[in-house]
Every structure is written in structure tokens, then in C-alpha cells.
Chain A
Amino acid sequence: DTAVSQTPKYLVTQMGNDKSIKCEQNLGHDTMYWYKQDSKKFLKIMFSYNNKELIINETVPNRFSPKSPDKAHLNLHINSLELGDSAVYFCASTRDSNSPLHFGNGTRLTVT
């Protein structure tokens, strides 16, 4: 009974390509996120959506574009992939301001 699911789990691609990562949550949460975990395990927020509206947009290159077709889905599209984009990308969701984030299992992106 998966709560937050991301696909694909692994993504290997070449520089310059465009790729997407999909995320879905079946918890009924209003807020969803994308986090990036670098090779040193540091986790940094990228985007946050509340009920399909963008509420947090950290200093992320324009090549990254999130899309939320409904409040259960938050996809991440990346254009013109660069080597430095290699990381694990986590989707997460939360019910409200006093509740923890529920994370997906992550997508390991490798750009060659």
C-alpha cells in the first residue's frame, strides 16, 4: 500500500537530454515537495506545491520545471541535463504544518 510513489527508481541518461520523474501520493495530502540529495547526502528543498499551486521555489535552474496536474501528483521535468544534476531526487508530501513529511523512495539520476 504505497503512500508516496516515484518513478522511475533509477534514471541513467546523457548530458543534454530531457527527462521526467513522476510522483504520486495516495495520502490525501495537500502539500507536495521535491528535494535533491547530493553525493554527500545533503538534502535540499527544490519546490513545494500546495493544492496544485507553487509555494516554494528555491534557487533552482530554470531547466527544472515542476508540474502538478492535481494535488495527488507532482512531476519534475528536467531539460538539458548536466553532469551536476546527478543526485537522488525525493518527492514528499505532508498533511499539514504540524505533520512530518512522507517521502517517496527516491529516484537516482545519473547523467553521463
Chain B
Amino acid sequence: AQKITQTQPGMFVQEKEAVTLDCTYDTSDPSYGLFWYKQPSSGEMIFLIYQGSYDQQNATEGRYSLNFQKARKSANLVISASQLGDSAMYFCAMGFSGGYNKLIFGAGTRLAVHP
């Protein structure tokens, strides 16, 4: 069965430092996509970054990068140069079965950035 696991319920990081948020997944489907979303305290869901299972390069979007290790089935999010505004819940999600029409989410990691 498909499953997404985020083992860190909460993380702390000092402003301007980098932080890695862990995500592991389980699927037997060879074609899938991995997504990260940010949910600030205001509640909206903000898309951050996407990695396809066949992508050779790790995805990057500004200060966000995805450390994709296919053999280990992990897709960790790296945030460089943390800012106070990065404090939020972060969700890893996986879409699969060729259609990516069904995203399943991990339990989320709450990140707190300290000045």
C-alpha cells in the first residue's frame, strides 16, 4: 500500500541556517510524484516543490531543494537560509498510479525558525 511517513513532528532551526525535513514513502508503483506543501498558521496550503520519480536531477526552487534518494525511498526537503516566515507546517505528499489524481499526505512537520 502507498504510504508517506514524516517522522519529525517538530523541528527548530536558527534563522539563516539550513534545515532538512524528512520524508519517506512506500509504493510499488514505478511512476509517482512527490510534492511538498507549506501550511502557515493562516491555514492556506502553499505548493513548494515537485519531484517526479523518473527525474534524474534533484528538484530546486529558490531556497527549497529536494534531496531525492529513490533507492532509499526518501524525498527530504532542504530549506536553505531559513527565514522567520518559514515557520509553518510542512507536508510531504505523493501522487501515483500514472494519474497523480490522488495525493496522499504525510502527517506533517511543524518547523519553528528562531531569531
Contact = CB atoms under 8 A, between A and B. Distances in A.
Nearest to A105: B44
A56 B101 contact: yes
Interface centre among A43, A48, A55, A102 (most CB of B within 10 A): A43
A100 interface: yes
B68 interface: no
A90 interface: yes
Interface residues of B, number: 24
B100 A42 contact: no
Contact of A100 (B47, B101, B104, B108): B47
- The prevalent SS among residues of B at the interface is strand
Interface in B85-115: 89, 91, 93, 95, 98-105, 107-108
A92 B35 CA distance: 14
B105 A43 contact: yes
A102 B43 contact: no
Contacts of B91: 43
Given A100-B50, A105-B44, A106-B44, A40 B98 contact: no
A40 B104 contact: no
B101 A48 contact: yes
A55 B102 CA distance: 10
9 contacts: A45-B104, A48-B102, A50-B101, A56-B101, A94-B100, A97-B98, A99-B100, A103-B44, A105-B43
